[in-house]
Amino acid sequence: MKTKLSIVKIGGNIIEDEQGLSYLLELFSNMDGLKILVHGGGKKATEIGNKLGIEAKMTNGRRITDAQSLDVAIMVYGGLVSKKIVAQLQALNCNAIGMSGADGNSIVAHKRPVKEIDFGLVGDVDAVNSNNISSLLNAEFTPVFCALSHDGKGQLFNTNADTIAAELASGMSTQFETTLYYCFEKQGVLQNIDDENSVIEHIDSKKYNELLADGVIADGMLPKMHNCFQALQKNVKQVCIGDSTMLQGTTTNFTTLTL
């Protein structure tokens, strides 16, 4: 029987909310068993970039990463945000260690091919080094991954944090019974975007296709849900989407995804 592993991805709005982040990290540190945290920091990167005169370039809500923007991402994701989170977890007796995809050769990627849009130095993940990450977990470290991957040839890439979380969950599922949690400010996937209480408690493949056809899943939720179902198809046990309270294990008011 496989050991259980929880992978928790935290959204940008939580990172920006000092009180909300502290609450989530406390819940995370109290979770039983082995765990990994994944974070981005896009809003903070935009803020710091603006101060440095490096304007964020977006297309259809997705970030274009040129060389200067990548430097900002490395500083913010791998430095500022990562180290603050690690320090807060250490204060909660959670022995966290800050990681990028380059650390321990953990997440190897290639530059996204140019199709209609050149996203620049954005990485699409090729492989997760589950053996090296397992060594950290078995040594009682809690990895905290930022949204950076690498190509093994010295090049770092900006990679969407939702994707990093899904790829980690998929890669680690060869050795662990993996549950993936996406924590953001909503209580789950909503049937009606204007009704915070219209949480859809369970979505399987059939329901997912119905919600897509009806336009209930749209905009920013589309790539997130796509990542979720790809992870499920790669032996991730289940995916949970909701706010921080779902990490308590006492609430059922969130969305669970299964095949």
Q: Which residues are annotated as a binding site?
A: 41-42, 63, 158
Sequence ranges of the binding site for substrate: 41-42, 63, 158
Q: Which two tokens stand for residue 187?
A: 């209580």
Among residues 49, 111, 108, the alpha carbon closest in space to that of 74 is found at 49
Q: Which residues have a Cβ under 8 Å from the Cβ of 185 and sit 6 or more positions away? A: 11, 13, 14, 20, 243
CB atoms within 10 A of CB 224: 22
Amino acid identity of residue 109, one-letter, is A
Q: Which residues have a Cβ under 8 Å from the Cβ of 190 and sit 6 or more positions away? A: 196, 198, 199, 200
Ramachandran assignment for 150, one of left (phi > 0), alpha (psi -120 to 50 degrees), beta (any other)? beta
Backbone angles phi, psi at 32, to 5 degrees: -75, 150
Q: Which two tokens stand for residue 101?
A: 């995809």
Length of the chain (residues): 259
3-state secondary structure of 81: helix
Among residues 32, 13, 3, the alpha carbon closest in space to that of 161 is found at 13
| Count of CA atoms in the C-beta half-sphere (13 A) of 223 | 11
Q: Which two tokens stand for residue 44?
A: 């903070």
